[in-house]
A and B are shown apart, each in its own frame.
Chain A
């Protein structure tokens, strides 16, 4: 709760050197990964980047502004759909919309990925602003349930707006734009954005609102405006993350964006430490890899001594228990609300992990 007394680390030249080396090493690693990894491993590697974006955007709300929101999947859905509709070619749209034709004004729109990604974020931000303005008057658990509700409403609207979104059939064959370069560039940008934001007066205002709303108000902070800003910015990045996810999986449908998805991101944020940028980054990488690595739990196993049938659900059992154990026994998560630094690493010396979010 003493976020104001943030440690002012004297930027030792040596530490800066380490950081530069780490970043360069990571970029090299990404190039190697892009060239030599098999399709599945590369996909997991890139998924890490997307989850970094999503986790940080949720942490901006939950961790830094103290607003407990559960509607993240809704904003991701908005972003994914907007970007998909803007980038798909008219032929592709004809193939998808065979039950109900697409509205004419969307049929012929095809723009490049980068503007589509930005527009996806902006539309999600607009939706976030429109929802946030009324809902952010609520507190704590009421806010959580109201945002959860809006997430569901967005999903129901997408399911029912068939001429625009193709309803429950979803969209198939999205252009595969989420390359290694694209996703990690966005993730890097997001990390940079968060670090700079938290050092700026806006970030400090958000932390002040989180720690003590009354005191923040007394210090002349417009609490409501800070909350709405945070919510809108978070929605922007959720939209961008959703769009990246859509262009990676190349198939989207409303069922993808249920509360389950929000749960995964919440899990990352809680495990990493509510209110820690580096915690979210590390945790996003670990959880994404675990999610994929533990997929074998759901499948039939041959453990030499005995064979098990497929056990769908076991993976989620593990993750739910992980979340509960973490929140009951170690509420601060991996990093609490502190940030990674080389000095901290020196203190632990054996522990691996770096700022770029590499292998952990």
Chain B
């Protein structure tokens, strides 16, 4: 393996890891607050990519405008989804709300097939993002560089919101103890909506970037990334944003490197994440950065 090829793999791994991290954050924040695996999160990711696609092709918006419109739309969609499908079940057994999430996920997928069509669609990648740049013997596509850069910028903003603002403090309060937070005059519904909004926004951004990097759309494109990113969140320690980022990068890097160095195993690429998940759950159920939680009886 030449050095330039290795470099290319590293860049690819970083951009895949960034995308995983963006989606994993949505899982981890929702789980942290509602203790819910939002199965529909992967489909929100799909929705974001499609909305941007139609923005570019149907309305012929410039790509950045389509991206903004899609992100805003998807964020509101995520908030609406929570209102309709999860809020009525907030006090029900956890399994009920999970079944509702599974239903929501299938609903979005089949709506996707119904509205967008089941056939894959090719994405017109803007020239700025598909340009190939050369560093000596290493050549790479701009999108692979832009993804990690944007991811880190977004992460910075997110961490600032969570750690420095009042809303962020309320989010942390709700995630620690929803009842106590309510007693402290935190508007829990607003915080939950806000969390879903942010999670969906990041997922939409991830989806759009994903569609520029792997330029093909289909209504089931969110299923596998969705599951893998949930796994990434669990590996990193669910409920912790840093953990989700760590898990996302870890998963992305391992996946790319596995395919690069052990091509015979590439057929097992999708199974690998699940094996990793089970190992982590059995050895360290709280994940790498998760806090130890006392089992409530």
B-facing mask of A314-325, CB < 8 A → 1, else 0? 111101110110
Complex interface: stretch among B91-99, B176-184, B188-196, B253-261: B91-99
Nearest residue (CB) in B for A140 is B94
Tell me if B274 and A153 are in contact (CB < 8 A). Answer: yes
Q: Tell me the complex Cα distance, A156–B268, Å.
A: 6
Q: Tell me the complex Cα distance, A348–B19, Å.
A: 55
Q: Tell me the complex Cα distance, A134–B55, Å.
A: 48
Tell me if A323 and B270 are in contact (CB < 8 A). Answer: no
B171 within 8 A of A: no
B85 within 8 A of A: yes
Which of A134, A150, A312, A328 contacts B282, CB < 8 Å?
A134
Q: Tell me the complex Cα distance, A327–B99, Å.
A: 7
Question: Smallest Cβ distance from A213 to chain B, in angstroms?
Answer: 10
Tell me if A141 and B98 are in contact (CB < 8 A). Answer: yes
A-facing mask of B211-251, CB < 8 A → 1, else 0? 00000000100010001001100100000000000000000
Given contacts A145-B37, A327-B96, contact A320 B275 (CB under 8 A): no
B125 within 8 A of A: no
A-facing mask of B136-167, CB < 8 A → 1, else 0? 00000000000000000000000000000000
Interface residues of A in 281-319 (CB under 8 A from B): 311-317, 319
B5 within 8 A of A: no
Classify chain A: how many residues form its interface, as a range: 35 or more
Question: Smallest Cβ distance from A134 to chain B, in angstroms?
Answer: 6
Q: Tell me the complex Cα distance, A321–B103, Å.
A: 7
Q: Tell me the complex Cα distance, A150–B281, Å.
A: 13
Tell me if B89 and A327 are in contact (CB < 8 A). Answer: yes
Q: Inter-chain contact count A-B, CB under 8 Å?
A: 112
Question: Smallest Cβ distance from A53 to chain B, in angstroms?
Answer: 21
Tell me if B277 and A324 are in contact (CB < 8 A). Answer: no
A359 within 8 A of B: no
Tell me if A317 and B271 are in contact (CB < 8 A). Answer: no
Q: Tell me the complex Cα distance, A331–B103, Å.
A: 14
Nearest residue (CB) in B for A161 is B267
Q: Tell me the complex Cα distance, A67–B291, Å.
A: 25
A-facing mask of B79-110, CB < 8 A → 1, else 0? 00000010011001011101110111011011
Question: Smallest Cβ distance from A314 to chain B, in angstroms?
Answer: 6
Nearest residue (CB) in B for A270 is B99
Q: Tell me the complex Cα distance, A141–B102, Å.
A: 12
Tell me if A316 and B110 are in contact (CB < 8 A). Answer: yes
Tell me if A328 and B102 are in contact (CB < 8 A). Answer: no
Tell me if A144 and B37 are in contact (CB < 8 A). Answer: yes
Question: Smallest Cβ distance from A301 to chain B, in angstroms?
Answer: 14
Tell me if A156 and B99 are in contact (CB < 8 A). Answer: no
Given contacts A149-B274, A214-B297, A328-B88, contact A312 B98 (CB under 8 A): no
A138 within 8 A of B: yes
Nearest residue (CB) in A for B274 is A149
Complex interface: stretch among B46-54, B60-68, B112-120: B112-120
Nearest residue (CB) in A for B223 is A259
Nearest residue (CB) in B for A260 is B106
Inter-chain pairs besides A150-B274, A319-B106, A328-B85, 8 sampled, C-beta below 8 Å: A68-B95, A149-B278, A153-B271, A156-B268, A159-B267, A313-B113, A317-B111, A331-B96
- B: residues with CB less than 8 A from A are 35-37, 85, 88-89, 92, 94-96, 98-100, 102-104, 106-107, 109-114, 118, 219, 223, 227, 230-231, 234, 267-268, 270-271, 273-275, 277-278, 281-282, 285, 297
